[in-house]
Amino acid sequence: MPAFAVIGAQWGDEGKGKVIDFLAGNARIVARYSGGNNAGHTVINDAGTFAFHLVPSGVCWPHTQNIIGNGVVVDPDVLLTEIGDLKRAGLNLKGLAISERAHIVMPYHVQLDILEEKRRGAGALGTTGRGIGPAYIDKVARTGFRMGELLNPEEMAVRLPEIVKHKNEILTKIYGAPPIDAGAILSKVQTWAPRLAPYIKQVEDLVEEALSKGENVILEGAQGALLDIDHGTYPYVTSSSPTVGGALTGSGLSPRAFGGVTGVFKAYCTRVGGGPFPTELTGEVGEHIRTKAKEFGATTGRPRRTGWFDAVAGRYSARVNGFDTIVVTRLDILDGIDPIKVCVAYALDGHRIDRFPLEGGSLERCVPIYEKLESWTKSTYGVTREKDLPAAALAYVRRIEELVGVPVSMISTGPRRHETLVLRDIFGK
């Protein structure tokens, strides 16, 4: 009967899309619970190569219903483009359902995101510029529009002019930008409404029904725990809750529905955008990882910052989320790198600390304390059986398991669905 959350355990881009596409073979529903089209989930299988931004990563399985939960913010233009592209690629989107309560990313949110980033100057957060922060601001300010309102566009037309008037004051008086035209936004609403209406549903009922029949439900996270608005490296975070709390509030499920929480870790670390990153590699090894792993944002194309695996951050992530298993992805990228290092603790102001520091500004001062691990030369690419892994690669994974304190259930050894090594069944635990 349970729901299983699959959560990014680092700064996003851990390979959740691939993992969820693999696991969805055994799930009735995949429900995305947070973020918006700041995410880019890459999935490669027999149906093709995809970068999902809003559509959940279970969409390639015909028996799996895909849901966009209430915690997600939806840019209707992006979603419509994505639906169109996926249909053209031969996928069946009939089962896609969008929560009535998911908020809409309006064109002025995108504009405000970009203007605010410019205004921050050297202190820019490095947002994806997709309007995510401003859309969540309006949700909290209670001035947002929700997807369900597209079912009654006439009512939206009543509320829109007042909101646009307010946005125009901000645009013109704070940013010195030209005002936007409420009429242009209204015509967008009128094109979105009939095209998206068939997908807008009370999705909580669908999830509840699946759970009551004993079917598996995957709650798909976006971004990563260290980008969480509360638990991440604030202010260099996204505006939603990628951690396990967000999986509950973003899907409308109770904790009792949970059967497990899985954290997805890359075998190393990456971060895109600003903010502290203690294990960052700025030299040759970092460049090698970036090039070999094609570490460029799936959404913005920006080069990702790369670094060694950070077990201090990993332990923190496991604590915040209560992981009962973890998945290690992109192990093959470390093939041939010598030496391999893992950060086991930090030095903060001359003292060794094993816990992730929570006081603002302290992570910036942390210096990683590394352990060198044995490297391996034999390729791990595409390995699907434990006995085929080089001993040092398996020892690396086991050391991560030990340091993070959570058993590894799966290792991803390549981007395609089948390039996966299962050590224990996530659903069976």
Query: Residues interacting with ligand IMP, by CB under 6 A?
Result: 11-13, 38-40, 125-128, 130, 132-133, 222-223, 227, 236, 238-239, 272-274
Residue 353 and residue 311 in contact, taking contact as beta carbons nearer than 8 Å: no
* Shortest distance in whole angstroms from residue 7 CB to ligand IMP: 13
Residue 113: active-site member: no
43 strand-pairing partners: 50
Pick 164 or 222: Cβ nearer ligand IMP: 222
Q: CA distances (Å), 97 to each of 16, 92, 145, in order?
A: 20, 12, 18
C-beta of 221 vs 414, nearer to ligand IMP? 221
The two tokens of residue 428 are: 């069976």
CA nearest to 223, candidates 345, 108, 396, 71 = 71
The candidate with the shortest Cα–Cα distance to 317, out of 259, 195, 395, 231, is 231
Nearer to ligand IMP, 59 or 132 (CB): 132
Which of 253, 259, 266 lies closest to 19 in space, CA to CA? 266
Question: Rg of the Cα trace of the chain?
Answer: 21
| Shortest Å distance, C-beta 201 to ligand IMP | 25
d(CA 169, CA 232): 32
Q: Which is nearer to ligand IMP, 28 or 130 (CB)?
A: 130
How do strand 258-266 and strand 200-201 relate by DSSP bridges?
unpaired
Minimal CB distance residue for ligand IMP? 273
CB of residue 402 to ligand IMP, shortest distance in Å = 27
Nearer of residues 274 and 407 to ligand IMP, judged by Cβ: 274
Instruction: Give 412's contacts (C-beta < 8 A, 6+ positions apart).
Output: 15, 18, 19, 327, 328, 329, 330, 331, 419, 420, 421
Q: Closer to ligand IMP by CB, 12 or 357: give it.
A: 12
CB 256, min distance to ligand IMP, A: 29
Comparing CB distances to ligand IMP, the nearer of 54 and 342 is 54
Distance CA 18, CA 415 (A): 7
Phi/psi at 378 (nearest 5 deg)? -65, 140
Nearest to ligand IMP of 51, 151 (CB atom) = 51
Catalytic residue (choose from 21, 41, 231, 324): 41
Q: Which of 105, 124, 97 is nearest to 37 (CA)?
A: 105
* Type and span of the H or E element at 44: strand 41-45
CB 316 within 8 A of CB 355: yes
Residue burial 338-352, b: 16+ Cβ < 10 Å; e: rest? eebbbbbbbebeeee
Phi and psi, residue 123, nearest 5°? -90, 20
Residue 280: DSSP 8-state: B
Q: How far is the CB of 126 from ligand IMP (least distance, A)?
A: 4
Strands 408-412 and 325-329: parallel
Alpha-helical runs (H) found in 263-390: 284-292, 311-321
Q: How far is the CB of 64 from ligand IMP (least distance, A)?
A: 22
Which tokens go with 393?
């690669």
Shortest distance, position 274 Cβ to ligand IMP, whole Å: 6
CB 354 within 8 A of CB 345: yes
Distance of closest approach, residue 298 Cβ to ligand IMP, in angstroms: 8
Which residue numbers are catalytic? Answer: 13, 41
